[in-house]
């Protein structure tokens, strides 16, 4: 049984004065866990801290019996990490670079290493292109290669940071299917600003902004809490400011070139509004809005 990852009161302030994390506490069980927040929310700082790449100012992190901040080597032996910026050597083949990464992860026995490399290449559907140079890979193939290197050593904890940014819809779907399969048996933290990634994949989630956790739990429960409170209306663009001043507009969308607003209210704001089923995007924007009010 895979242990929980427990983050307790983690803070981090950079030398330039930016408070990246402000008392972050989370309990992350096995399965897909979505860490959702805007750019600059502190997601990557938290991921790098869990991955032992930087130190927090205070707080603790434990993965089962492992003290993440003090037993870094033990963490790294069980960790798979796909950072937001993942570079590859363009002239090297996928097979060669994975073999190199496997050695760095301590897989020194040649036969066992070859079996592990073949296993992760097949699992990420890259076996047939294993001899191709990485510089010829598409964006989706590079991301799958990133997951392949993260899977070396059969990790029990995986961190993937903004993995679908820039992928086309077909590549994104393939990537989702692969992550979902991986997340059946290990802790997988998916850090993203894309609401659909969390909605499609994650049974548990947290929303983070300005270094603070604003909500954590089950996405469906958060959606259910907004039932009967989300209203939609097409409005003239030049009247948007008035609606934002008078009502709690949580998001705006363009629909066939027209401006549609979603408003959170206990009852229909006016007869022209229609009730719409809440979704995770409504949860996300309403939570961010409430967080902005608290910060102000």
pLDDT by residue (tens digit) across 151-160?
998 899 999 9
Q: Dihedral through CA 224, CA 44, CA 49, CA 24, nearest 10?
A: -40
Q: Answer left, alpha or beta for residue 80, where phi above 0 means left and psi between -120 and 50 means alpha.
A: beta
Give the residue from 223, 242, 263 where a domain finishes.
223
Of 202, 223, 244, which closes a domain?
Answer: 223
Tell me: the pLDDT tens digits for 272-283? 999 999 999 999
What average pLDDT does this structure show over 137-157? Answer: 89
Span 163-199, pLDDT tens digits: 877 778 888 888 888 888 888 889 999 998 889 889 9
CA dihedral (142, 151, 61, 54) positive or negative: negative
Confidence category of residue 295, pLDDT binned at 50, 70, 90 = low
**E strand or H helix that includes residue 101:** helix 94-104
Q: Which among 254, 248, 256 has a CA at the least distance from the CA of 273?
A: 248
Are 165 and 118 within one domain? yes
Per-residue pLDDT at 45 exceeds 50: yes
Are 172 and 263 in a shared domain?
no
Judgement on whether residues 184 and 87 belong to the same structural domain of the protein = yes
Do 229 and 88 sit in the same domain of this protein? no
Q: Does 28 share its domain with 150?
A: yes
248 and 261 share a domain?
Answer: yes
Q: What is the CATH number of the domain that holds 27?
A: 3.40.50.300
Laid out side by side, the sheet with 258-264 consists of 249-255, 258-264, 230-235, 274-275
Sign of CA dihedral 173, 178, 180, 183: negative
Hey, what are 76's tokens?
Answer: 């790294």
pLDDT classification of 130: cutoffs 50, 70, 90: very high
Q: Which one, of 50, 25, 18, lies nearest residue 206 by Cα?
A: 25
Task: Compute CA distances 276 → 140, 221, 229, 239, 268, whole Å.
Answer: 34, 17, 8, 21, 11
| Residue 236 shares a structural domain with residue 200 | no
Does the pTM of the predicted model rise above 0.75? yes
Higher per-residue confidence, 3 vs 221? 221
Same domain, 218 and 253: no
- Is the pLDDT at 292 greater than 70? The verdict is no
Q: Which of 191, 205, 188, 198 is nearest to 78 (CA)?
A: 188
Residues 165 and 251 in one domain: no
Which of 223, 251, 280 terminates a domain? The answer is 223
Report the pLDDT value the prediction gives residue 82, as an integer from 0 to 100: 87
- What is the rounded average pLDDT for all residues in the chain? 91
Q: Are residues 91 and 155 in the same domain?
A: yes
Asked whether residue 248 falls in the same domain as residue 178, the answer is no
pLDDT digits (tens, 9 = 90+) for 226-238: 999 999 999 998 9
47 & 64 share domain? yes
The pair phi, psi for residue 153, each rounded to 5°, is 85, 5
DSSP character at residue 18: -
- State the Cα–Cα distance between residues 61 and 51, nearest whole angstrom: 11
> Which domain covers residue 188, as residue numbers?
5-223
Q: What is the mean pLDDT of residues 108-129?
A: 93
- Provide the pLDDT for residue 296: 47
pLDDT surpasses 60 at 113: yes
Our count of domains for the chain comes to 2
Quick one: pLDDT at residue 276?
96
CA distance 74 to 71: 5
Percent pLDDT > 70 in the chain is: 97
């Amino acid at each position: 049984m895979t242990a929980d990852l427990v983050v307790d009161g983690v803070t981090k302030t950079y030398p330039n004065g930016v408070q990246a994390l402000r008392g972050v506490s989370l309990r992350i069980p096995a399965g897909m866990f979505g860490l959702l927040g805007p750019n600059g929310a502190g997601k990557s700082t938290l991921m790098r801290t869990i991955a032992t790449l930087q130190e927090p100012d205070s707080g603790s992190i434990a993965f089962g019996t492992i003290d993440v901040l003090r037993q870094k080597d033990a963490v790294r032996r069980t960790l798979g990490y796909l950072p937001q910026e993942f570079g590859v050597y363009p002239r090297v083949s996928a097979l060669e670079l994975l073999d190199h990464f496997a050695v760095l992860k301590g897989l020194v026995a040649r036969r066992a290493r070859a079996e592990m490399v073949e296993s992760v290449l097949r699992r990420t559907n890259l076996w047939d292109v294993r001899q191709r140079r990485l510089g010829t890979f598409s964006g989706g193939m590079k991301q799958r290669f990133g997951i392949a290197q993260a899977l070396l050593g059969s990790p029990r904890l995986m961190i993937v940071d903004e993995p679908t940014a820039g992928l086309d819809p077909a590549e994104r779907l393939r990537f989702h299917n692969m992550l979902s399969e991986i997340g059946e048996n290990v802790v997988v933290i998916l850090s993203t600003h894309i609401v659909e990634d969390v909605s499609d994949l994650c049974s548990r989630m947290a929303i983070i902004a300005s270094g603070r956790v604003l909500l954590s739990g089950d996405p469906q429960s958060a959606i259910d809490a907004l039932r009967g409170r989300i209203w939609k209306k097409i409005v003239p663009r030049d009247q948007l400011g008035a609606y934002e001043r008078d009502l709690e507009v949580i998001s705006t969308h363009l629909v066939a070139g027209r401006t549609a607003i979603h408003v959170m209210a206990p009852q229909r704001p006016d007869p022209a509004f229609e009730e719409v089923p809440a979704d995770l995007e409504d949860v996300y924007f309403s939570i961010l809005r409430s967080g902005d009010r608290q910060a102000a």
